[in-house]
């Protein structure tokens, strides 16, 4: 099964949720995703998604000095990003409930 399209939408919501908790940078986001079961996610997967979220106005980015080398690009959620994340959470709950219901046998 091709997981790409399904994962893209799910990852966007998860990325926004990670950024919602605190300002963070790409490598940290990848680490959090991997720690939570998205083991196949790499930086090459993440950065195009971050760019798309930034173009949609859901996140903003600023460069800040890093203690370990060149400046890092830190991401924060915008007001629009908070609204989108709320909507994503609602829709995710509805969809996951329906899918789980079907996979558990559904209505007779």
What domains are there in the chain, each with its CATH number? 4-103 (1.10.10.10)
The structure tokens listed for 59 are 């996140």
CA atoms within 13 A on the CB side of 90: 6
What's the average model confidence in pLDDT over 26-34? 96
The structure tokens listed for 80 are 């629009």
For the whole model, what pTM was predicted? 0.89
What's the average model confidence in pLDDT over 41-70? 93
3-class DSSP state for residue 68? coil
What's the average model confidence in pLDDT over 29-47? 94
């Amino acid at each position: 099964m091709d997981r790409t399209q399904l994962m893209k939408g799910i990852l966007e919501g998860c990325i926004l949720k990670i950024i919602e908790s605190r300002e963070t940078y790409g490598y940290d986001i990848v680490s959090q995703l991997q720690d939570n079961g998205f083991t196949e996610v790499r930086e090459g997967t993440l950065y195009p998604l971050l760019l798309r979220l930034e173009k949609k106005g859901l996140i903003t980015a600023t460069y800040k000095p890093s203690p370990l080398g060149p400046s890092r690009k830190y991401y924060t959620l915008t007001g629009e990003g908070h609204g989108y994340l709320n909507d994503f959470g609602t829709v995710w709950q509805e969809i996951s409930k329906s899918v789980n219901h079907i996979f558990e046998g559904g209505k007779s």
